[in-house]
């Protein structure tokens, strides 16, 4: 069988990325230009700044991805692109670029949901078997997604306020840690003790939803109160206490979901999936469930990248799910809820 | 030379396909709000009407700003990636100058302006010379009152106001006349003709919209960190 070669684009937030993927499973190249250094200056992603960087980087990324993969346009079979969710101005650069490459070379255009992309980063570990459940945790998302079969995504739970990664950034800022704070807080958490016993919001609720704004407020109140009375709190202990509260809820809810939705595989994906605390705790918990295999997205594919978009796009390509030339960015794109879920 | 020309800088969306000095097809609409959605279907339709394939193009000419940030970014990304992926020539023309291309009377002064809100403008002053608008006062982001001060030394000549000039009917001086009808709208056919006379962009990678204005975050940052080099904020990982 002739190999399928796909050029994939990702530009939903602060990474411009272009990848060449073979048969949805093999990375020939995955060029990622990150703007973190730029947005660090502002303590978080500034949308207009992000859009401006994307258009500066886009052709460089295309050229590098093709050179690294050693392919020409004649070799390509399709073009995949993230069209949502994300920052609209940022998404538009990837969408526009993908449309022009597809149109110029008469290739099918595949519209990919960014979260499907995150989930399919796990495809580079091994093939996804269905039914499957995915825990997607990032700076913008915290969701449990049930996949009854290939190409079907159903939300069974999501955060009602902050995403987990967003909470990391906010408590990080309070402790004087620069954006993005996740990796630093994770490293500190490995050294401290859980001495603060922060709230585990919604942990006992029957649904699969999350809430992290209460935890964030509890953390900030504790910190500021201590500051006012001249108390210096141990930052490692704060990090451990915060991280334990986040991970407890994520793991508890996921295990409960697995009871009602027995699956062959549990997939951990998204930027926060690179978190060591979460990886360790989830691995230990899944050891108790021999029927379910845990697949964790490779660490370097947890953040935003186009390789994952190519993997998810290949599923749509096989189904003949193509976009028209009128494809637009959809900043609030989301999966449907599962029909039978407890809300 | 087969040329695609496009302008999506503001509400009007104008696209043309040309072969040398012949305008093969053109369309200008003012009804679309979602340029990202409508631009490529219109380009594709015009190209098909002309019996052309994308690979037949030799040059893309784009009005690359100033204007709506989203609009100029969509147009610029479209032209930039198309030129890059086909390996053809790319030309950028000021979106303000593009409006001045609607006028041909020799020595006429033209002040294209875009409303940048709060009594601010993107504006430039052009004079027709040998049939083409040449720069008298360069494009800039400027307060309306300051712009009118700059125009004061031309008070003995007539100036044509075009673009959003009609947003300020009571504030413009008496030597202003407003462009009317088709002349109010950017015409990609004129852009395509003009763009054939200009040199192509040498380095397509670094071709970006001409915003004429820093983002607020960037401006505030530069004020606080005047020594910082702002050229290397994106890293390949
Ligand atoms: Zn993401």
> How far does B3 lie from chain A, in Å, by closest CA?
14
- Computed over every residue of chain A, the mean pLDDT equals 95
Cβ–Cβ below 8 Å for A59 and B81: yes
A57 interaction partners in chain B (CB closer than 8 Å): 234
Cβ–Cβ below 8 Å for A36 and B211: no
Nearest C-alpha neighbor of A168 from the set A50, A272, A40, A46: A272
pLDDT at A293: 97
> How far does A203 lie from chain B, in Å, by closest CA?
37
> How far does A201 lie from chain B, in Å, by closest CA?
35
> Which residue segments constitute the domains of chain A, with CATH numbers given?
5-120+302-337 (3.30.420.40), 127-296 (3.30.420.40)
Confidence of residue A134 (pLDDT cuts 50, 70, 90): very high
B201 interaction partners in chain A (CB closer than 8 Å): none
**Strands B22-29, B120-129: pairing kind:** unpaired
Interface ipTM: 0.96
> Using one digit for the tens of pLDDT, what is the confidence trace for A292-301?
999 999 999 9
> How far does B133 lie from chain A, in Å, by closest CA?
29
Distance CA A245, CA A305 (A): 28
B235 interaction partners in chain A (CB closer than 8 Å): 33-34, 36-37
* b (16+ CB within 10 A) / e for A90-108: bbbbbbbbbbbbbbbbebb
- The answer on pLDDT for A278 being more than 70 is yes
Q: What is the pTM of this model?
A: 0.96
> Using one digit for the tens of pLDDT, what is the confidence trace for B78-128?
999 999 999 999 999 999 999 999 999 999 999 999 999 999 999 999 999
Q: Identify the DSSP state of A163.
A: -
> Using one digit for the tens of pLDDT, what is the confidence trace for A59-99?
999 999 999 999 999 999 999 999 999 999 999 999 999 99
- The answer on pLDDT for A305 being more than 90 is yes
Distance CA B126, CA B98 (A): 11
Q: CB-based contacts of A134: which residues, under 8 Å, 6+ apart?
A: A119, A122, A143, A144, A145, A147, A266, A267, A268, A269
**Any idea what the Cα angle at residue A228 is, between residues A223 and A229, rounded to 5°?**
105
Residue A27 pairs with which residues in a beta bridge?
A21
- The answer on pLDDT for A201 being more than 90 is no
Q: Identify the DSSP state of A212.
A: -
Cβ–Cβ below 8 Å for B215 and A41: no
pLDDT at B235: 87
- Mean pLDDT is lowest, of A27-31, A247-251, B164-168, for B164-168
- The answer on pLDDT for A37 being more than 80 is yes
- The answer on pLDDT for B57 being more than 80 is yes
- The answer on pLDDT for A30 being more than 80 is yes
Asked if residues B113 and B164 have their Cβ atoms less than 8 Å apart, the reply is yes
> Which residue of B58, B71, B217 to mutate against A (max A Cβ within 10 Å)?
B217
Residues around ligand 1, an ion, CB closer than 5 A: A 138, 304
> Using one digit for the tens of pLDDT, what is the confidence trace for B2-54?
999 999 999 999 999 999 999 999 999 999 889 999 999 999 999 999 999 99
Using CB atoms, pick whichever of B36, B209, B233 lies closest to residue A96. B36
* b (16+ CB within 10 A) / e for A187-221: ebbeebebebebebbbbeeebbbbbbebbbebbee
Confidence of residue A44 (pLDDT cuts 50, 70, 90): confident
Using CB atoms, pick whichever of B40, B69, B208 lies closest to residue A325. B40
pLDDT at B128: 98
> Which residue of A92, A325, A331 to mutate against B (max B Cβ within 10 Å)?
A325
Question: Which stretch of DSSP H or E encloses residue A37?
Answer: helix A36-40
Cβ–Cβ below 8 Å for A62 and B37: no
Using CB atoms, pick whichever of A36, A49, A56 lies closest to residue B218. A49
Asked if residues B65 and B8 have their Cβ atoms less than 8 Å apart, the reply is no
> Using one digit for the tens of pLDDT, what is the confidence trace for B188-233?
999 999 999 999 999 999 999 999 999 999 999 988 988 777 667 8
Distance CA A171, CA A202 (A): 20
Cβ–Cβ below 8 Å for B82 and A89: no
> Which residue segments constitute the domains of chain B, with CATH numbers given?
2-95+186-216 (3.30.420.40), 103-184 (3.30.420.40)
CA dihedral A69, A71, A75, A80 (to 10 degrees): 50
Cβ–Cβ below 8 Å for A106 and B44: no
Distance CA B158, CA A284 (A): 80
Confidence of residue A343 (pLDDT cuts 50, 70, 90): low
For a pLDDT cut of 70, what percent of chain A falls above it?
99
**Any idea what the Cα angle at residue B19 is, between residues B16 and B23, rounded to 5°?**
45
Distance CA A14, CA A85 (A): 13
Cβ–Cβ below 8 Å for A62 and B81: yes
pLDDT at A206: 87
> Using one digit for the tens of pLDDT, what is the confidence trace for B128-150?
999 999 999 999 999 999 999 99
pLDDT at B233: 83
Asked if residues A51 and B68 have their Cβ atoms less than 8 Å apart, the reply is no
Instruction: Give Dmax over CA atoms of chain B in angstroms.
Output: 59
Q: Where are the alpha helices (DSSP H) in A124-268?
A: 164-174, 182-189, 213-228, 235-260
Q: How many CB pairs under 8 A join A and B?
A: 123
> Which residue of B41, B78, B84 to mutate against A (max A Cβ within 10 Å)?
B84
* b (16+ CB within 10 A) / e for B74-87: bbbbbbbbbbbbbe
pLDDT at A224: 93
A92 interaction partners in chain B (CB closer than 8 Å): 36, 70, 73-74, 77
Classify residue A266 as exposed, middle or buried by CB count within 10 Å of its CB (0-12, 13-18, 19+).
Answer: buried
Cβ–Cβ below 8 Å for B73 and A92: yes
pLDDT at B231: 67
């Amino acid at each position: 069988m002739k190999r399928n070669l796909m050029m994939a684009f990702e530009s939903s937030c602060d990474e411009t990325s272009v990848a060449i993927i073979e048969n949805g499973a093999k990375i020939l190249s995955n060029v990622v230009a990150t703007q973190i250094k730029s947005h660090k200056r502002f303590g978080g992603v500034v949308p207009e700044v992000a859009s401006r960087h994307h258009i500066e980087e886009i052709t460089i990324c295309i050229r590098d991805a093709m050179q690294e993969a050693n392919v020409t346009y004649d070799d390509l079979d399709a073009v995949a692109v993230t069209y949502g969710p994300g920052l609209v101005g940022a998404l538009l650069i990837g969408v526009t670029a993908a449309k022009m490459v597809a149109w110029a070379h008469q290739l099918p255009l595949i519209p990919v949901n960014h979260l499907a992309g995150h989930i399919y980063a796990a495809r580079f570990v091994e093939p996804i078997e269905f039914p499957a459940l995915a825990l997607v945790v990032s700076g913008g998302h915290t969701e449990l997604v049930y996949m009854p079969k290939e190409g079907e995504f159903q939300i069974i739970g999501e955060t009602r306020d902050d995403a987990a990664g967003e909470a990391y950034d906010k408590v990080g800022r309070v402790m004087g840690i620069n954006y993005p704070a996740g990796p630093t807080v994770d490293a500190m958490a490995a050294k401290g003790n859980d001495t603060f016993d922060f709230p585990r919001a919604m942990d006992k609720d029957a649904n699969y939803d999350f809430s992290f704004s209460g935890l964030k407020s509890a953390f900030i109140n504790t910190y500021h109160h201590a500051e006012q009375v001249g108390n210096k709190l141990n930052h490692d202990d704060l990090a451990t206490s915060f991280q334990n509260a986040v991970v407890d809820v994520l793991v508890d809810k996921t295990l409960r979901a697995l009871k009602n939705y027995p699956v062959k595989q549990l997939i951990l994906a998204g930027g926060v999936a690179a978190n060591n605390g979460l990886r360790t705790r989830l691995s230990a918990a899944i050891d108790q469930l021999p029927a379910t295999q845990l697949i964790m997205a490779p660490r370097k594919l947890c953040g935003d990248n186009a390789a994952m978009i190519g993997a998810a796009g290949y599923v749509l390509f096989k189904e003949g799910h193509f976009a028209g030339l009128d494809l637009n960015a959809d900043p609030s794109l989301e999966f449907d809820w599962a029909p039978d879920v407890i809300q | 030379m087969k040329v695609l020309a496009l302008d999506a800088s503001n509400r009007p969306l104008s696209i043309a396909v040309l072969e040398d000095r012949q305008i093969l097809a053109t369309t200008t609409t003012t009804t679309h709000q979602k340029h990202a959605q409508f631009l490529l279907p219109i380009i594709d339709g015009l190209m098909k009407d002309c019996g052309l394939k994308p690979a037949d193009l030799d040059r893309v000419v784009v009005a690359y700003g100033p204007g709506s940030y989203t609009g100029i970014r969509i147009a610029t990304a479209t032209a930039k990636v198309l030129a890059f992926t086909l390996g053809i020539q790319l030309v950028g023309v000021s979106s303000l100058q593009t409006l001045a291309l609607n006028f041909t009377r020799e020595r006429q002064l033209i002040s294209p302006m875009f409303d940048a809100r709060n009594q601010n403008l993107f504006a430039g002053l052009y004079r027709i010379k040998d049939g083409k608008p040449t720069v008298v006062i360069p494009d800039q982001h400027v307060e309306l009152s300051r712009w009118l001060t700059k125009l004061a030394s031309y008070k003995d000549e007539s100036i044509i106001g075009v673009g959003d000039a009609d947003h300020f009917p009571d504030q413009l001086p008496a030597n202003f006349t407003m462009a009317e009808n088709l002349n109010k709208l950017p015409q990609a056919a004129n852009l395509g003709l003009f763009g054939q006379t200009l040199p192509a962009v040498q380095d397509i990678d670094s071709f970006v919209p001409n915003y004429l204005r820093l983002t607020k975050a960037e401006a505030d940052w530069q004020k606080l960190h005047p020594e910082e080099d702002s050229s290397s904020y994106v890293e390949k990982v």
